Amino acid sequence: MTTPQLTKNQSLVFDVLEKAEGPLSAYTILDKLRDHGFRAPLQVYRALEKLLEYGVVHRLESINSFVACAHPGDNCHSHGIVAFAICESCGQVMEFHDHEVDHRLMGWVRGQKFKPEKTTIEIRGLCEACAA
Amino acid sequence: MTTPQLTKNQSLVFDVLEKAEGPLSAYTILDKLRDHGFRAPLQVYRALEKLLEYGVVHRLESINSFVACAHPGDNCHSHGIVAFAICESCGQVMEFHDHEVDHRLMGWVRGQKFKPEKTTIEIRGLCEACAA
DNA sequence: GCAATTGATGTAATAACATAACATCTGCAA
DNA sequence: TTGCAGATGTTATGTTATTACATCAATTGC
Ligand SMILES: [Zn+2]
Ligand SMILES: [Zn+2]
Ligand SMILES: [Zn+2]
Ligand SMILES: [Zn+2]
């Protein structure tokens, strides 16, 4: 997915996520953008929908939050499953992918004749700093 | 985790999930149990909390729903990560685990000195019947 | 120029998911 | 019998996400 020029609202939402230390909920983003004219959740959700489509933002299903992609300008997401390690203490998110994991999971679903559309891998725990 | 005798509410919730074709939301469970005296979401959420703790029910993060474990009486969950394939058309859920996937993911997090607590792997797509 | 179309935006209302706070009950142990 | 712990009942509230409808702006074809 090539990323077209972002609209005003998309840019505002993306900038908030890029500057954030960790993942943010849609309503947190809304609050941060009230000074810029945002009034309703839909302004955030609509921007996020596009940013997800362009692959520059990820949704973390297990914490109902959104994070800017850690691999800007990289097209690696189109080749495999992205996995996340999420620190439950400080919110830091690490993003990675592993072709062997992809291979095992996709091999299993193929054996079941299951047609995968979207795969979520999220590891919650404590980052090095917080586990100390 | 050994499963103690279930309480009345826990049994009701578990029975609903066991008889269901697929995953159910907490509020769907609530509606199915109104005839049995359930009135409030908390009655469901409290029962689910225990059932999750006992490992007899799983939460599907990506669809905010709950499903009875497909491996009754099995303790395999204590040895690894459980993965789910969820049909977005009919709701059917397949549950499996793969030690190689566990190994790769845990190897990666160990390299990052990240301490994992709970891992989610969910594949949404179409089952064989629905993809046809 | 000027409709027609398309995509983006604004706004209000509502739906769906989850928890906080507090009271009560029940079984069991000191 | 009293105290405690766990389960339950109830109300209210908090959090996340979508529906419905109106408006606006840029583009296209005439
Ligand atoms: Zn990414
Ligand atoms: Zn941390
Ligand atoms: Zn299971
Ligand atoms: Zn299906």
Hey, what domains does chain B have and what are their CATH numbers? 8-131 (1.10.10.10)
pLDDT given for residue A75 in this prediction: 63
Q: Percent of chain B having pLDDT more than 90?
A: 86
Which residues 6+ apart lie within 8 Å of A56 measured at CB?
A3, A14, A68, A69, A72
Cα separations in angstroms, B98 against B13, B54, B102, B116: 29, 21, 6, 17
Check if residue B26 sits with its Cβ under 7 angstroms from strand C: yes
For A33-72, letters b (16+ CB in 10 Å) and e give beeeebeeeebbeebbebbeebbbbbbbbbbebbbbbeee
pLDDT for residue B13 is more than 80: yes
CB < 8 Å from A in window 43-102 of B: 61-62, 83, 85, 87-88, 94, 96, 98, 100-101
pLDDT given for residue B101 in this prediction: 96
- Of the candidates B115, B9, B75, B126, the one whose C-alpha atom is nearest the C-alpha of residue A118 is B126
Tell me the mean pLDDT in the region A53-81.
88
pLDDT for residue B31 is more than 70: yes
Instruction: Note the pLDDT tens digit of each residue in A10-48.
Output: 999 999 999 999 999 999 999 999 999 999 999 999 999
Q: Does A124 touch chain B (CB under 8 A)?
A: yes
Instruction: Note the pLDDT tens digit of each residue in B60-116.
Output: 999 999 999 998 766 667 778 899 999 999 999 999 999 999 999 999 999 999 999
Nearest to A116 among B113, B114, B125 (CB): B125
- Identify the DSSP state of A55: T
Instruction: Note the pLDDT tens digit of each residue in A77-117.
Output: 777 889 999 999 999 999 999 999 999 999 999 999 999 99
Task: Grade residue A2 by pLDDT with cuts at 50, 70 and 90.
Answer: confident
pLDDT given for residue A76 in this prediction: 61
Tell me the mean pLDDT in the region B109-126.
97
Q: Percent of chain A having pLDDT more than 70?
A: 96
d(CA A118, CA B105): 18
d(CA B65, CA B21): 13
Distance between A80 CA and the closest CA of chain B, angstroms:
13
